[in-house]
Structure 1
Amino acid sequence: MRIWPFRKRRKPVEPVVERVTVDDLARMARRGELARAVVTPPPAPRASADRVRATVAQLPGRPLGSAGGTARRDAAPARQTAAAVLVLDDHQRVTVSGGGLIGRDPASAHPDGGYAHMIALEDPDKLLSRTHLEFGFGAEGSLWVLDTASANGVELRRPGFPATMVPPAQRTVVQPGDVVVFGGHTLRAEPRTALVGDAPLG
């Protein structure tokens, strides 16, 4: 029978907690015993809106103001509006920048107005209705025409395609080179761009 020698159990070592005060840290810092002293800077003051505007106004190009650094509140940027030159019967040219009516006497058919243009044409062959054709501009600036239920209809002639009748009360976009035939007259459109606030188109 083998007898194991008795071993005395060791008492666990308790850690020694050393209290370090602020004075101890200051003394250790003077002696160079600290690796580094970290100082947190105070937060930067928040810039005001006026200071931001003044800083940006000094940048190249002066995006917020004129040459003097002050913004012009009364100057609105110029914007473009759709316009076109209507060539009627290959000799009469009318510059338009809004919706309108063409016919024998469109003003009498629509006395209340509501249109930017009223174009009256002669009707020697008795083929033109009082309000034969309506025109206007789409959101993308394209010109369109519409047959206002005329007696003799509206025909569209596009190069490379057979002539077709424009459906009544339906907008049809007029492309460059198209010829619109209506009531013994023809119409072509030439695009033109103008700035709002410029001199009247003519």
Structure 2
Amino acid sequence: MRHASPRRRSSRSRRWLRNRPAPTHHRRRLRPPLRRRRPPTRQHPCGRRPAAPSASVPRAVLVLDTGERIEVRATVLIGRSPKPADGEGSVQLVPLADDSRSVSKTHLAIMPTRRGLLAVDRGSTNGSAVLRDGDESALVPGQPQPLNAGDGVRFGDRTLRVDQL
């Protein structure tokens, strides 16, 4: 009884088998990638999309102790001669005349957010404080403090009031 020995291929035929393209009937068909559905967007009850808040619409109104009204459309910098820091985006500059020099050059920043306003002392000499319900809480330089409608802010010898949000 003879045992069939496996046929050995030469190195030339092995190289040919290795480098030849795969037959087309063995290739898998590539499926197109699945489309992911976008989550539904919030829509107004009447079927229209809500308009995005634009920079021209005021987010809040600040009233200075002089009676001047400031519509907050972007970050508001208040001081004797306010200047934005490097890399700071669009800002509203509010220069104030202050003969007593109790207000620093760039004393205070009021920043609009989705939830309201934030007040930030910009490292002023005489400091700033938030006045709420008769209580005064000092602002730590560089630390944002939320503001509500009706709150007051004292900076140097001057004050302002948050009129509406």
Q: TM-score, normalized by length of structure 1?
A: 0.51
Distance change (3 Å), C-alpha of 1:124 and 1:110: same
Task: State the Cα RMSD in Å.
Answer: 2.6
Q: Does 1:158 align with 2:122?
A: no
Q: Does 1:102 align with 2:96?
A: no
Once the 2 structures are TM-superposed, how far is the Cα of residue 128 of structure 1 from its aligned partner?
Answer: 0.8
Gaps (5+ residues) in structure 2?
1-46
Structure showing greater radius of gyration is 1
Of 78-87 and 94-103, deviating more is 78-87
2:22 maps to none
3-state SS of 1:155 partner: strand
Amino acid at match of 1:128: V
Amino acid at match of 1:78: A
1:127 maps to 102
More strand by share: 2
Distance change (3 Å), C-alpha of 1:80 and 1:110: closer
Once the 2 structures are TM-superposed, how far is the Cα of residue 100 of structure 1 from its aligned partner?
Answer: 2.2
3-state SS of 1:80 partner: coil
Share of identical aligned residues, percent?
A: 34
Gaps (5+ residues) in structure 1?
1-62, 65-75, 193-202
Once the 2 structures are TM-superposed, how far is the Cα of residue 90 of structure 1 from its aligned partner?
Answer: 4.8
- CA distance in 2 between counterparts of 1:111 and 1:123 reads 25
1:172 maps to 145
- CA distance in 2 between counterparts of 1:148 and 1:122 reads 18
Amino acid at match of 2:111: G
Once the 2 structures are TM-superposed, how far is the Cα of residue 189 of structure 1 from its aligned partner?
Answer: 1.3
Q: Which runs of 4+ in 1 moved over 6 A?
A: none
Amino acid at match of 2:62: L
- CA distance in 2 between counterparts of 1:177 and 1:164 reads 15
Find 1:83's aligned residue among 54, 59, 66: 59
- CA distance in 1 between counterparts of 2:153 and 2:119 reads 9
Q: Does 1:116 align with 2:91?
A: yes
Mapped contact 1:101–1:115 kept (Cα < 8 A): no
Once the 2 structures are TM-superposed, how far is the Cα of residue 159 of structure 1 from its aligned partner?
Answer: 0.9
Amino acid at match of 2:139: V
Amino acid at match of 1:157: L
- CA distance in 2 between counterparts of 1:78 and 1:156 reads 33
More helix by share: 1
Deviations 1:83-132 (A, max 9, x none): 1111011501011211121101013x658763320110011111010000
Amino acid at match of 1:154: S
3-state SS of 1:118 partner: strand
3-state SS of 2:78 partner: strand
Query: Aligned residues, how many?
Result: 117
Mapped contact 2:150–2:164 kept (Cα < 8 A): no
